[in-house]
Structures are given as structure tokens and as C-alpha cells.
Amino acid sequence: MTTFRRRFAEWRPPSLKRATLWVSQWFSKTAAFESPRVAAMASPHMQQPSFLLASLKADSMNKPFAQRCQDLVKVIEDFPAKELHTIFPWLVESIFGSLDGVLAGWNLRSLQGRVSPVEYSVAMEFLDPGGGPMMKLVYKLQAEDYKFDFPVSYLPGPVKASIQERVLPDSPLYHNKVQLPAPGGLGLHLALNPFEYYMFFFALSLITQKPLPGALHIRTSDCAYFILVDRYLSWFLPTEGSVLPPLSSSPGGPSPSPAPRTPAMPFASYGLHHTSLLKRHVSHQTSVNADPASHEIWRSETLLQVFVEMWLHHYSLEMYQKMQSPHAKLEVLHYRLSVCSALHSPAQPSLQALHAHQESFMPSEEHVLAVRLLLKHLHAFSNSLRPEQASPSAHSHAASPLEEFKRAAVPRFVQQKLYLFLQHCFGHWPLDASFRAVLEMWLSYLQPWRYAPEKQALSSDSQARGVSERWAPFVQENLLIYTKLFLGFLSRALRTDLVSPKNALMVFRVAKVFAQPNLAEMIQRGEQLFLEPELVIPHRQHRLFTAPTFTGSFLSSWPPAVTDASFKVKSHVYSLEGQDCKYTPMFGPEVRALVLRLAQLITQAKQTAKSLSDQYGESTAGRPFLSWLGFYPTDTNGSYPGNDLDEMGQDSVRKTDEYLEKALEYLCQVFRLSEAQLAQLTLALGTAQDENGKKQLPDCVVGEDGLILTPLGRYQIINGLRRFDIEYQGDSELQPIRSYEIASLVRLLFRLSSAINHRFAGQMAALCSRADFLGSFCRYHLLEPGLSGRRLLSPVGRGRAANRARGPRLSLRFLGSYRTLLTLLLAFFVASLFCVGPLLCALLLVLGYVLYAVAMTLLTERGKLHQL
């Protein structure tokens, strides 16, 4: 205590930086000198109190965003790594938010330049991968080999479940990093270097952080997060040149790659058939003959693996169990028994946790868009190899690590997890237009030639050239992503409303991609290679990975490329689906039958869209001039819209017809369908139009009580392909009062007309029975016109309507309509402008109507004579 008072009296702090340094150094020296027993008993996870961290936390609550970033820049430049490592976890969490989603951080997914230009520019400059202060901090800590703990519980579900099952995930990203839980400290966790820790938080913030309520209408491509993803990909996975070395802020030179560590706990790797634990231990050690220059790309490898693991490693419990070989399961069982007995605790229920995760996990559209951005850049990154480097003969030891990484990035890191991710999305995504994001992500991966340098140099009409033969190996090595996912899309398309323009567009997009010249032939050749019979079924290739070190990288232990095309295709299928998979050929009879069914639905949807278009045109043309005032009745028969065409109008109908027409044409090209086949199947389903050439009833049969829907009819109604024309068939005087009618006036007129009909029923019947012109005139006004000419649905309905036939009667309900009253008021107003009195105006109106009624009576009688 005396020592502290003497030092405090002599000290005069010139600045916050020097004060914080002095206090922290004094605490460390005092703790080591005066309390050695307490320091020895401290937990390794408990850090000494950091006054720098406390000061920064206080500033984060009081200072504006730009000022806080300026202070952080000064702190990163002035303070040594020994002080900065205590604030690094807090700083990463304050930027990207907490892993549990409670803290939002800087809200990078909602930050836009046009909305908040100052905050946007400051954040982008601070997090810039080329020379931003945050990356300088990462490299400064990387040079000192600091490690940071990351809880396993926040990893994706399959990764967390496998680690908790004591099975090492099939990714070198986790090798030699898993740490057993310490008493009184963290649970099962990973020991990550600063670059890995930073990238883990950056990638997971896309999933853990939920968008703000006001950010629903923000354009995703303008957000700071997605622009940062693009910048990080362009910097660490360059399409031109090489990866630039990190800018070191210390005089010691660039930050080294992470050094190898001995495994903290033994793990089995699922999906890999190791013969013994000794071999697995040797495989994790540093390769002696590895390329010494391979450490230059360890950041690129880490970035790609983190994005793939955090964004794509989500699949079902069944797939998780299938990926574990029987030998690996046996090793896991023995090891779990030994670990559980050592820890005196039962095994964690990770399989149940994985099942719960899978039930709740559903990627957002932003998640899918980020994956698509990753895939597009990876295609450009892989295609940046020169032709002589991309050829199999160029695969030699003379190739640089970056060239090796470009060649192996997609097949070795992305392919398997992307296939599982797409399968999950195809099977669980809602049947609505939001599936377009997943569809475009899939189609982007299927077309790597779109991101080749020579493709970008060609004109827009280059699609007619077709897909080059140089892409045949890619198509064969990704056969399931083409064929099985196409089958999954077919099953979705058969359950959607193809009359909707957005759904029709998705079918058009898929058909257009697969109809590219030479692509269908490549897929068919790939299927023939897989279906070739052979005596020995090829086993999966076993991959042994090493951690990135000074003398080796993830690439150093990969086996040489296999040149046999048939073996490549079989290895691809068996590695993704297992050796007991049942493959359904894309050009086989089962898929062809589904395509024919889709073609039938496309034809039906085109006819339905045309029918709705005609109805829309008739309803628009038939409305009077006063309909814009809102007094026109809205669909008195109570018909309902089948889809969004009624809201979008004629332009939407035209687009739908164009999409479906071109989609049907492309499907006929891919699967070689003839016009005769389509016509025959269309007639077989009863899609011929009825007598008026427009309306089509759902498929049904006549029963005792009317029409009964068949299963096909229910399907047609549910998908909006057909519908009944619902109309009121009861007493027109007893219809419910409409919104365009005056309720009290309608009731009063009904009582008046009922009294007149009851008083003069006999006279009206005698007048209507006359055969002269007066009888025709009375029948036109007193008989209900709907029953004789109405098209009823069934003989039962027609019989009941005949029994309900009513005699002549007077109806005054039309006088209770707002439209009628407004028309009369306008007529009297116009007449007053010409000095015509109300009485004379009323007489003129009556005279005009009588002339109109006489003309209509004559036309009606002439029409009846023509029918006879």
C-alpha cells in the first residue's frame, strides 16, 4: 500500500493513453509480486481488469459513432498488442452484434450510403480489408499468436452436434482447435486465432442478427454488410494477380500464418475411413514436404471455409447420420464411453439438438443472396486460371499455392455443403414467389461459363453458341446438382399456381437455362457414365487435411486429380448420396412423365390466363362512365379472383402468356417433346374449351344433389387452373343489400312492389299471356329474364330452377341504387341549364325510356323467332 501511495503521488498523467498503460502495468507487476498465490489460483479464462476496455465501453454510450471510430483508430495505432487483445472480443461483438442476437452491433445489414452517408463511409473505411483499422488490429494480434475462445454452442447445428458427439467435422477449419470444457470456465469451445475469430463473427452475423422492423424495404445490394462481403471476397480471393500480404503495423514484418498445435482432444472425422487412431494423429501433423509458400494463402482458405461452414453447413438429421461411416460410428462409440467415464457425465443429447435446430432453421432471403454472391465470385475466381493452368496436365508441383487453390476451391470446399443446403431449401421453402432467390442461387452455380473471362468479352447474343465442351467435366462432377435438384424443382412447379406471373417466370428461367445448346447432351453423357456397369463399385476418396502452417496448407495433403471420367461421376454421386443411393435419371421415363404433366399444366394455365384476360377486358369495357365514382356494382354474382392477375391487369396476363409459351418451347427442346404428344395429353385431361370458347369447369361428375368434384377437379381449383362461375340463382328481390344501395329505400321499395304485385297479380298475368305487342312489352318488364337463358351447372340444378319459376311481377329495387339516383340528379341538373323545368324533364325521361323499351322488345322478339 505504501508503494502505491508513493508512486501515485509522483505520477502526473499527461494523457489517457499513458495513464491507462501505467495503471495496467502497475496492476500486473503488483499482482505478480505481492499476490503470487492469488495469481496462480486465477482461472485461465479470467483476465486482469482492463481500464482501456472500461474507457471504450463508457465512450460507446456517450460519444457519437464517428467520434468513437476515430478514438478506436488512435487506440489501435498507439497501444501494443498486449493491451489490445483484451478489447478485441468486445470490439468484434460491438461491431457485428452478439452471437445470441440480443446486441445488434452496428446494424451493417441496415446501414446504407444514401440513408446515412457519414456513418456508412466511416464504417466501410474502418472495416476495409485492404488497410482498414480493424484488419490492422487483427494482423497486430495475429503476429503475437493470441487465441480467443469461441463457444461451440453457437456453431451451425450439424457442426455443433458432431463436435458434441466427439466427431470432428469434415473440415480442416476445426482441426486442432476444439478444447474440452474447463472447470468453472467455458464449455466446449474452439481456440481461434484473431483472423478466424473475426471472420466467424462476421459470417455468423448474417444468421444470428435479425433485420430491424424498419429495414424490410431496404435494397439488399446497397447494404454495408453485402458490400463488405463483396470487398472481402475480391481482396482475399482475387481474380487478377495474387493475394496481397497483410499490412503489418509492427516493425516485425507481416503477420505469420497460424502455427500448428497438438490436438487438444482426439476426434473421429465423419465420412472418412481411417484405419487407426495413429494414422489420424499423423494426418494432423505438419507435412515435411509441403510448399513453404503455401502460408501466403492461408487467409484465403480460412475466409472461404468460414463462409462455407457458417452459411452452408445446415442439413437434416438423416443426412447427418448417413454421412457417418460404420467404422467412424464404432470409433465414436468407444471414444464417447471413455470420455463420459472420465468426465463423470452422460453424453449430451446433440442429435436431439440437431433435430430441433433443423426444424427451426430456415435461411432468409438475405442469407440466400449472400450465398449467391459467394458462388458467383467463386466461379470468377476459379475461372481466372489461364487455360494452360486449368488443364489436368498442368496439375504439378510447379503450380503456385494460389493456382492450386483456384482449381480446388469449388469441388473440395463448396460442392458437398452447397448440395445439401440446396436440398434443404428445395424441400422446406414455402410455395410462393420468394423461392426466386433460391432458384437464382441454384442457376448461378449451374452456369460457371457466365463468369468466365471469355464469356464477359462476348456479346449478349452469344447464348446461341451453346455451352463449350470445356465445361463437360464441371457438369459431370456436379451431376446431382443438375439432375436431382431439377427433379425437386419439378415437384415444386407441379404444386404452384402457374397462372401467377412470378411463378411462370421461375419455370421460364429454369427451362431457359437447361435449354442452352449442348447442356442437355452433357448431362445425358454424365448420366451414361454413372450408369455404366462395372465389377467393383468405387469407394469414396479419402481426404486427409492438415492445418495451415508455415510449411503446409489445407491443399498439401489432397490426393492427385482422378482422370477417369466414369470414376469421377460415380465418386461424386456416392460421396453425396451414399453407395446405396437410388438414382433417378433426368432423361428417364419417370422424369419425362413429370415433364409431360408440367407441360399439361402450362397449357391449362395459358388457357386460364387467357380466360381471365377476356373477363377483365369485358368487365372493363362494360362499365359505364359513372363507374369511376364508385357507384358501379362490383360483381353482383359473387365471383372470386383466382390469382393476382385480377389485380395486375392486362400487362401481367401478357407476361404470363409469354413466360409460359417460351417455357413450354424450351421444355420441348430439352426433352424432345412433339406437338402431337402435347395435344393428345391435353385432350386426355379434358382441357378442351366449352361452347363459348372461354369458360372451363373443374372436372366433376353429376350426383343426386348436383355436381361432385373429382380429385382432379379439387387439384384444378386449389391451383387456380379452373373454377366454377358462382352466380346468384335465387329470388333477385331477396338478394342481400349491396354497398351501392340505400338500405332503407330498398326495404321501402320492396314493400311497395310487393303490395302492387299482390293487388294486381291477375291483371299482370293476363297481360303477359297476350300474343300481341302489348304482351311482349309486358313480358319484357314483368318477367325475370335470367331463368330461361341462364346456364345452370347440372340437370338437377335446372330442374330445381324450373320448379322455382315465378309469375310476372313488378320490381322497383333499381330506384334504391346510388347510381340511379345520381343519374337522375345529373339529368335534372343538365336540364336546368337549358331552362327545362323538372316536370318537363321527367316527361322527357319517361318518353325516352318508353322508346328504348319498345326497341328492346322488338329486338327480343326477333331473337326468339330466330331461335325457333
| CA atoms of 652 and 609, how far apart (whole Å) | 9
The more confident residue out of 210 and 365 is: 365
| CA atoms of 624 and 602, how far apart (whole Å) | 35
Residue 167's DSSP bridge partners are: 268
Amino acid 481: pLDDT:
95
Range from 238-247, 417-426, 475-484 carrying the lowest mean pLDDT:
238-247
pLDDT digits (tens, 9 = 90+) for 302-349: 999 999 999 998 765 566 555 554 444 444 444 443 434 433 334 444
Helix axes 224-236, 365-383, angle to 10 degrees: 20
Q: What is the DSSP letter of 178?
A: E
Q: Write out the three cell numbers for 660.
A: 409460359
Q: Name the pLDDT band for 241 (thresholds 50, 70, 90).
A: confident
Highest mean pLDDT among 145-154, 514-523, 537-546, 732-741: 514-523
Asked whether 324 and 270 are in contact (CB, 8 A), the reply is yes
Asked whether 786 and 732 are in contact (CB, 8 A), the reply is yes
Q: Name the pLDDT band for 693 (thresholds 50, 70, 90).
A: very low
Range from 46-60, 332-346, 807-821 carrying the lowest mean pLDDT:
332-346
Amino acid 566: pLDDT:
83
Q: How is the chain split into domains, by residue range?
A: 147-192, 469-535+561-618+650-678, 743-786+808-866
Amino acid 280: pLDDT:
33
**Mean pLDDT taken over the chain:** 74
Helix (H, G, I), strand (E, B) or coil at 728: coil
The more confident residue out of 406 and 631 is: 406
> Could you tell me which of 412, 451, 428 has the C-alpha nearest to residue 308?
412
| CA atoms of 570 and 529, how far apart (whole Å) | 8
Q: How far is CA 657 from CA 111, 500, 503, 654, in A?
A: 40, 10, 12, 5
Q: Is the pLDDT of residue 262 over 80?
A: no
Amino acid 391: pLDDT:
56
Amino acid 317: pLDDT:
54
> Could you tell me which of 205, 243, 219, 234 has the C-alpha nearest to residue 107?
205
Spatial neighbors of 770 by CB under 8 A, at least 6 apart, are 778
Give phi and psi for 758, each to the nearest 5: -70, -35
Question: How large is the average pLDDT for residues 511-521?
Answer: 95
The more confident residue out of 309 and 292 is: 309
| CA atoms of 234 and 231, how far apart (whole Å) | 5
Range from 88-92, 414-418, 724-728 carrying the lowest mean pLDDT:
724-728
Q: Name the pLDDT band for 18 (thresholds 50, 70, 90).
A: very low
Give phi and psi for 697, each to the nearest 5: -85, 150
Amino acid 586: pLDDT:
93
Q: How far is CA 390 from CA 84, 240, 384, 559, in A?
A: 43, 15, 9, 17
Asked whether 618 and 690 are in contact (CB, 8 A), the reply is no
Burial of 759 from C-beta contacts in 10 A (0-12 / 13-18 / 19+): exposed
pLDDT digits (tens, 9 = 90+) for 783-806: 876 544 444 444 444 445 544 556
Range from 53-67, 371-385, 750-764 carrying the lowest mean pLDDT:
53-67
Q: Write out the three cell numbers for 852.
A: 328504348
Amino acid 42: pLDDT:
32
